[in-house]
Amino acid sequence: MEKTKIAVLVSGGGTNLQALIDAQTNGILQNGEIALVLSGNRNAYALERAAKAGIDTEIVVKKECADQAEFEQKMIAALEMYNIDLIVLAGFMNILSADFTGRYSERIINVHPSLIPSFCGKGFYGLRVHEAALSYGVKVTGATVHFVNEIPDGGRIIAQKAVAIQKGDTPEILQKRVMEEAEWILLPQAVEEVSAAIRKGETV
């Protein structure tokens, strides 16, 4: 059977995309292959990362569409063109509707930079998550890979990895450590696990 076809949805620098590209090169990602990088931003550096790796790209910008429905319809058209089996959100800065997430039930995964259910949900993204963790004074944070449903950060958890908070951490320092010690390790492993399950017709 063919490998699970993966689309990575991006909006920015694409560091998590790079972790997946590296995992594909290093043989960590064996049951899936990145067939498409879809960007919601024409200037995303992630598009250059995809080009360097020889991965096809598509761009769908929400503000160039009449509404959410048109935006999602254009994305669906691109995903169907590449016969995508699995969608990975890697710093994709657009909320997806219940119609979209329902269409791809347990076929969309996201990495969130905290241990869900802490510091997650609407408004918790990027540095805001790490600012909240530090201001609350938790001693441990981390990353969570989860399925995506209509509730922000509300889907079933696939994997989590803890990262210790250290004295003198700033949100920027903590963000970098969570990426290096958790996100970039956890996301490729989870994508491989889900890709293997899809190929076998099993659930994760």
For residue 29, which of 187, 193, 192, 190 has the smallest C-alpha distance? Answer: 192
For residue 32, which of 21, 42, 41, 40 has the smallest C-alpha distance? Answer: 21
Active site residue 112: yes
Output the six-digit token pair for 19. Answer: 């972790």
**How far apart (Å, rounded) are the C-alpha atoms in residues 161 and 11?**
24
Angle between helices 15-26 and 184-200 (to 10 degrees): 60
The alpha carbon of residue 59 and the mean position of all alpha carbons in its chain are separated, in whole angstroms, by: 17
My answer on whether omega of the bond before 117 falls inside 30° of 0, hence cis, is yes
Residue tagged active-site, from 5, 62, 74, 112: 112
- Contact residues for 202 (Cβ-Cβ < 8 A; gap 6+): none
> Where in the sequence numbering do the catalytic residues fall?
112
